[in-house]
Structure 1
């Protein structure tokens, strides 16, 4: 159950945090780095799993809770697990020792914090000593959470505070810190250029920008719909949903691209810029054409296809919305410079935003 819950929450958080993460990576590194993203997602799942392991399952709070499930006295004696091993010993020899439940518990507590040590040292650049201290602090937080009944949510502790767990977790953090260099072998982490240096426009970069735009639209729709529902701005839930979809579409697809450059928010996040063929900023007309021929056009078709109570001809928009991504993907692979259908329709080209714009020609008197 803790693992399933951690994965479910991790996937939801990954969707919500994806766009900010991409923006942070491009600001700090100048590129995405699939290896960094994989490690970040794995670290997120691990952290959530660790929290779920501490809290779940939550016992039912009954009138006789402390008498039946709680009142675990703290265990303050270091290396008390050796005494437990003697009590739990069955048989002799190495095999019997390794199967001893008390030793198994200690080894599991060590292994539980090995990933923490690896992630903290590799991803945050901490020293071995600092990583070990962080592991000790995290373990102490867990033990205090348990001894206080999840910070007094329960009237008495239902799990054991054990000083041996602190020692085992800290040892696991130390082992993870020493093993952290192994994570350097994960591909897709090395920078291909300095963060401020221009990089080539690639298909994967264009697709990443489109994914950011789609996620921003969906998250904005959920946010606006929730606000409309809570405030009761529109009389019906259906009206809330319409306003929640059309308002983000207008802001993200029409207002922002026309107010600034022709690029969408997703393209700005990945440091892409749209220019004319000779390197100048595009005018208003090409900006609008580019926006409607790209992700904005796809979202518009989706919106029109979902209009309630309209003529049956609106169903054609849903069909076109299904065809549009395929056509856009083909255009991305077939157009020069990976311009895609949107830039091709507007007679524009896509460049790296860190490439200096061409200055207007000065005509001498």
Structure 2
């Protein structure tokens, strides 16, 4: 079973890493285009990525060393269609009118190898019909092309990385994989109601700015703060030739002022980089661009509570000051949570105080 388990584990691991790296860019794109995070669509896309990568790994792994392949005798491909039927009948002991031979035959390698190849591409047929709206003929052709890619990868020694093939290219795999895709096409119809439907996701072109959208915006601004901070550190270190925590704190505060105050002040729509990328904007109670003083106080408040207080903790040596700042941050989080629970929605209580409200820029 390790022949199958290891490639599956590796495929899932790699695909999850790709999903992790793509998560923030996908969030940004969907917030800009649709105004919301499309949960069902992203579940489908993520599962499709996991399936495609895992299926490919199952046809490829484990990879031998190049030296080992050099010492192997060249592997001859099978060009005889339906050889798997003859192999099954000769090696499994299957006799159609003797029920006692059936179980033993279905447990033989000549059967479960073919069954594996059917199951390998069965999900592909489901995805093509359910989520890509392909007909039967298109599904069969795409299933054949996917299988052909697998076989070509094996036949060429992973596209000539290896001196020759180290796996057994087989025309029967093309037939069986294509059959698996077609079976998946029909299976999609049977399980249609059990599968997530991306069409139920709706664009949310409203002014409401969700907590996740705000946090992504803040994350982007924090990245820019750290970029400016590191650039300032380089300049100061080159000029002064020494490093001190006090200087680091001052440089970090200057970086925060540049990103959260200076940039919005000089920008046309009074937005930070993160707000621009996420299509967010500050508005007053009447829906207009807020006063400059209100914008500055709002951004300073956000920058301190959710950025400076967290990052400066790592720059301070005094344990009592660290504990105090941690308690302050926890107190802020607790206040936000309690007020939000009371109002039965996420409530940003400081917005009313400054008369500045974060809205989606439609």
Q: TM-score range by the shorter chain?
A: 0.7 to 0.9
Q: Out of 283, 288, 291, which is 1:280 matched to? A: 288
Matched, 1:75 2:84: no
- Residue 214 of structure 1, CA deviation: 5.8
Instruction: Describe the SS at the equivalent of 1:306.
Output: helix
- Residue 20 of structure 1, CA deviation: 2.2
Q: Out of 208, 212, 233, which is 2:216 matched to? A: 212
Q: Out of 175, 184, 198, which is 1:189 matched to? A: 198
- Distance (Å, rounded) in 1 between the aligned partners of 2:212 and 2:92: 56
Per-residue CA deviation, residues 119-166 of structure 1 (Å, 9 max, x unaligned), is 234333333332332222222111111111111221121111111111
Is the alpha carbon distance of 1:55 and 1:91 closer, same or farther for their aligned partners in structure 2, counting shifts above 3 Å? Answer: closer
Count of residue correspondences: 341
User: Match of 1:179?
Assistant: 187
Conservation of the 8 A alpha-carbon contact between 1:339 and 1:349: no
Conservation of the 8 A alpha-carbon contact between 1:290 and 1:345: no
- Residue 251 of structure 1, CA deviation: 7.0
- Distance (Å, rounded) in 1 between the aligned partners of 2:231 and 2:137: 47
Is the alpha carbon distance of 1:110 and 1:325 closer, same or farther for their aligned partners in structure 2, counting shifts above 3 Å? Answer: farther
Q: TM-score, normalised by structure 2?
A: 0.75
Conservation of the 8 A alpha-carbon contact between 1:274 and 1:282: yes
Instruction: Describe the SS at the equivalent of 2:210.
Output: helix
- 1:346-357 alignment to 2 at 5 Å? 346-354=354-362
Matched, 1:313 2:313: no
Unaligned runs of 5+ in 1: 355-365
- Distance (Å, rounded) in 2 between the aligned partners of 1:268 and 1:188: 31
- 1:1-365 alignment to 2 at 5 Å? 1-62=6-67, 65-68=69-72, 71-90=74-93, 92=95, 93=99, 94-180=102-188, 182=191, 185-186=194-195, 189-191=198-200, 195=203, 198-199=205-206, 201=208, 206-213=210-217, 216=220, 253-254=260-261, 257-258=264-265, 259=267, 261=269, 273-294=281-302, 297-307=305-315, 313-334=321-342, 338-354=346-362
- Of 152-161 and 248-257, more deviation after overlay is shown by 248-257
Which structure shows the higher helix fraction? 2
- Distance (Å, rounded) in 1 between the aligned partners of 2:179 and 2:228: 48
Is the alpha carbon distance of 1:352 and 1:215 closer, same or farther for their aligned partners in structure 2, counting shifts above 3 Å? Answer: closer
Q: TM-score, normalised by structure 1?
A: 0.75
Instruction: Describe the SS at the equivalent of 1:274.
Output: strand
Instruction: Describe the SS at the equivalent of 2:282.
Output: strand
- Work out which of the two has the higher radius of gyration on C-alpha atoms and give 1 or 2: 2
Is the alpha carbon distance of 1:299 and 1:124 closer, same or farther for their aligned partners in structure 2, counting shifts above 3 Å? Answer: farther
